[in-house]
Structure 1
Amino acid sequence: MKRGVFLSVVIALLAGCKETPPPAPDGYYVIDDITVTYDNPADNAPENSDPEKNVKAAIRDTMVSLKDTTFFWFEPGRVTVDNSGNRFDSDIHGDTFDLNNIQTTWTSPDSGQTVYLTTEKEGACGFFNCTLKMTLSRADHTSEKLAGMKAVSDVRAASYEAYLETQRQFYKENGFPPVPGDTIRMTENISVTLPEKMAIDLKKQEGGDYVRDIGGLHIESDDDNTEIYRFRDPLSDAEGIIHLVKVPKYRWRFDEWLNQQKGIIYQEENGAIYYNRWGKPECTYFRYDQKERRYVIIVAETADQMMMQQMYSIARSAGKNPPPEAKSNK
């Protein structure tokens, strides 16, 4: 009996000795300092610091200038980064989160008053590998620096929202008329209608050089359960990609993914037109064929609004059970 009591006490003491994780940052933070360190020591030397003569020095200056335009809002499990009204969110997993798709580690030695951020090297400086380090300090409502940046952010965000509203009105008034063209049989049960000028250039993606994360799916062209086809308009910048992906229906989480994009212009149950996280206009439409257990997901990009209307109409043509006369892509 005494032995059992003793063990219980020891276990309780050991449990109490476990190191508790540090509290996550909470509230608004401004940037006090930013350093950029390239892999090659020569790129960090003073003689290579002229931004007019060295592209890496120019990138460093751009990164450092973010401290005058960017602030952070931390809340439980999530962080929002605002750069002059350009906002993006990321979930916090332990001591990491994505800073504009760059994995970032945070630490705080003083219970969240100061936060140190360190990015992974790959992609942090565009085509060049570098380590980006930031020092953040908590800011309250009396912070003049935070108030100034929030004022700029609010004005630009309001202007951007007004710009999006004009585009929403365009699609509301004009809709998406069907686009005449050739009905292409993609699989036994799935077809897509393409204008003849685009159907001619429809090409299958060969090789393993296409990777995309969308709607909770990680898509790779060299996956045996995936087929990728590309089409484009020869007279504009419009490009489209048809993804045929065999996955269980529940894997697709479109609404959750869409809410991470920059601005939604048009949305319906199976698709949307929006500005993606990089600020580019894009549309996505999808259907699921229960018999084949396959999604057809069409993504298109174009900067022209009239062309976007046409591309989304093409995407919406994705359907099941094509007629016998439908052409085959095989």
Structure 2
Amino acid sequence: MISKLKLSASAAALALLVAGAVSSAQAADVVADEGCTISGAVGIGYMFDWQKVDFDFGSEDSFDGDVDWNTPFGEAGGLVTCGGFNVQADFAYYNHQGDADVGLGKLEDVDADNSHFGGALFWRDPSYAALGVSGSWVNQDVLSKDSDTFRVGLFGEFYMENFTLGASAHYFNGEVINIGPLDIDQDGFELAAWGRFYATPDLSLMLRGDALLSNIDVPSQITDEDVDLNGWAITGEAEYLAWDKGLSVFGGVRYAQRSLDVDNEDFDVDIDDTQVYAGLKFYFGQDGTLQDRQRTGTVDNTSVFLEKLPNALTSGILGLANAAGGNIN
């Protein structure tokens, strides 16, 4: 029931954004007279995630469990451009739904939804490059408890005739979970680099790599050792402008690995995700090809590890439940 309410709320939010998009597009001509323009994009999609969780105790007792995730998602952003100066506000919602499928009551049909409200300030010359800062407040549902993380960083893009090259570096700090004595925090860095090739002005092919370097602050009654959560991901994505009024279709595949390691202990957890996704995106307040719209519109301010992947703690618990085959009491 909670999942349906959250999904309904997300759909309502996206509907309001679409309505706002139409109004903004109509207002863009007025604002343009003052030297500024308003533009943006709204996208919705669906993602499938096949996840494997390996538990290594440094002995023959090691085991693994599989988890299947289904994720409806939405992203939206608005942009005010005045010459080369840009101000962006954005929102994203990923409703990850996993199933332990072992008859464990509350561990069936688990929600691990992630969302963010964020923005960016940047300079951009569509014929040359872009450079700026972005930040967001990320909320994660961890075992039905809200977990808040703040994320801020730098990004840049360089434009060539048929290629876009980009990179970003973000720092984040926040909670993993806070339930009684179980008060766990996390901080670290996300690094990313991507390249986008325009096979035609209306067809883009993107390859992106991400890296995670983070530390988990665990209460001393659990362990005095350092706990690290590190990972990497690679994403391939295609997008095609199917309607010159601004509607595009997109799809992609992502493979990600995350490793939880406890120093000086024979214990670690590896989480592997294979994701396939597709969706629709509507660009408003702009004209031109897909290449023109991507170089003059909103920038991507979502996090692969904090939003597009189910959070590590919930993934580990569901993996453990599936590995146990329903024998956990």
Q: Same fold (TM over 0.5)?
A: no
Hey, which of these two has a bigger chunk of helix by percent? 1
Hey, which of these two has a bigger chunk of strand by percent? 2
Instruction: Give the alignment's TM-score, normalised by structure 1.
Output: 0.21
Instruction: Give the alignment's TM-score, normalised by structure 2.
Output: 0.21
Between 1 and 2, higher relative CO (CA 8 Å, sep ≥ 6) is seen in 2
